[in-house]
Each structure stands twice: as structure tokens, then as C-alpha cells.
Amino acid sequence: MAAVRAFRPGWLPTLVVLALLPLLIGLGFWQLARAEQKRTLISAEQLRRQIPPQVLGELELSADPSFRRVVLQGHFDTEHSILLDNRTRSGHAGVELLQPFYEQNSGLWLLVNRGWLPWPDRRTPPQFSTPSGVLQLQAWVYVPLGASFQLQADAPSSNWPQLLTQVDAGKVWQQLGRGGWAHELRLEPGLAAYQVDWPVVVMSPVKHQGYAVQWFAMAAALCGLFVFFGFNSTANTSLRKRDDACSDPQA
């Protein structure tokens, strides 16, 4: 007589599944949420970049200035430049150049990102120049998505130009003893700009969806293995052998 297999997964596999399954499912839904955030961010960027640029005084009153365009008039501070390291374009290593800009209409200092520069040889510093005199520029406000999840900004040093991996505009103004705006502004193409083709998001919504599928697939595989080994455990194998022995008349 065929033995009926009992479901005997054991306490250790059960604990492993109870610990890992909610984690895998949670990571999958988290990736889906990130994908939706990125889609919202891209839509907001597309809409706001179509709005004509505003003067800085109007933009300061906005509760959410992200991606809004602004027209600036003033001059750069050539003595306090910041190079953001580990920035790549098309597989090439480089940096982004940020410089203080005095906006004369508002009387505020702004941290303006002039764009990407190649840095093929780290034995020599990146080369750049700064236009002098009063300039009229157009830029847009960059507010990173999920700022609370980003790495902590590097502590400013006394050496200029500074090579950093993250930057906090507020800390820069504290170090320089200036009244400045807390947001980074990124230049639009023009006289003072280098390569300014920033991606809106580093990882696309499609990639987040792909990662979500992977997490859900791992959760499904974990459940499948749990069920399989639960019905094919050592206890079930021993029980089946005992039943086979009892049913054998020569045993």
C-alpha cells in the first residue's frame, strides 16, 4: 500500500522561511514603490522644465522648488570650487564642477553645478576655467530623491578646490561664512556650462520593476523548496520505508 506523505518540514527550515519570506516580499514591494517614485519624479521634471524660468525671489517662496527653472544674474567665486568625484558618463570617469555664484538681485550665494568634466588621469587635476564678470545664466533646482537615504556629505576641508563624493550646500555656506541657498542649482546649456546632460534618476523605473520581479521570484522559490522538502524530509522517508516493510510479506 502506498504511504501517504505527511508534511514534516522541521523546525529549522520553518524558522528560516518565517524569517526570509517577509523580507523578500517586503523588498519586492519596496522596489515597486521606488519605481512609482521614479515615474512621478520624471513626470514632475518634464512638466516643470517646460515652465518659463523664474527669478530667484519668486522661487524662494515655493514649497517645492525641485526642477523649477530660474534665471540668475551675478558672478562666480573662482577661489572656492568643489569637484564631485565618481561621476561617469558613457563609461568614462570624471567629476562635476560646483562653484559658488553670487546672485546680485537676491543678494544670496548659490551653489551652481556647471556640469561634468572628464578626469582620465588621476595623477593630474581636472582642468577647467571660469568666465569672469557679471553673467546671466539659466539653471534648474536639483533636489535629490530620498535625500534621507543618501550617504552623509563629506566634511568640507580648508583646501580648494575640494574633492568630495557628496556635498551639502548648507555646510559649504557655514564654512565660508556666507548667506546662501540650501539647494544645488544645475546649469542649462550655455557659456558657463560644461557637459550638463544629467539623468533625472540614476536607476530607471524599469530596473526597479526588474529587481522587484527577482525578489518575488526568490520568495516563490523559497516557498516551493519549503513545500518540496517538507514532503520529502528524512522523517517522511523513514516512515515510507517502515510502511513498505510492513506491507512486504517476506519482511
What predicted TM-score, i.e. pTM, was given to this entire model?
0.67
Mean pLDDT across 73-101: 93
State residue 80's pLDDT score.
94
Work out the pLDDT band at 217, boundaries 50, 70, 90: very high
pLDDT tops 90 at residue 153: no
Work out the pLDDT band at 74, boundaries 50, 70, 90: very high
User: How many domains would you assign to the chain?
Assistant: 1
Q: 101 pairs with which residues across the strands?
A: 76, 110
Asked if the structure places residue 103 within a domain, the reply is yes
Average pLDDT over the chain, rounded to an integer: 83
Cβ contacts of 216-219, under 8 Å, gap ≥ 24: 216/24, 216/25, 216/28, 218/24, 219/21, 219/24, 219/25, 219/28
Asked if the structure places residue 156 within a domain, the reply is yes
Asked if the structure places residue 111 within a domain, the reply is yes
State residue 2's pLDDT score.
53
Give per-residue pLDDT as tens, 218-244: 999 999 888 888 888 655 555 455 555
Asked if the structure places residue 23 within a domain, the reply is no
Asked if the structure places residue 150 within a domain, the reply is yes
Asked if the structure places residue 90 within a domain, the reply is yes
Domain that residue 151 falls in:
51-122+130-202
With a CB cutoff of 8 Å and minimum separation 6, the contacts of 160 are 79, 80, 81
Asked if the structure places residue 40 within a domain, the reply is no
State residue 147's pLDDT score.
46
Asked if the structure places residue 116 within a domain, the reply is yes
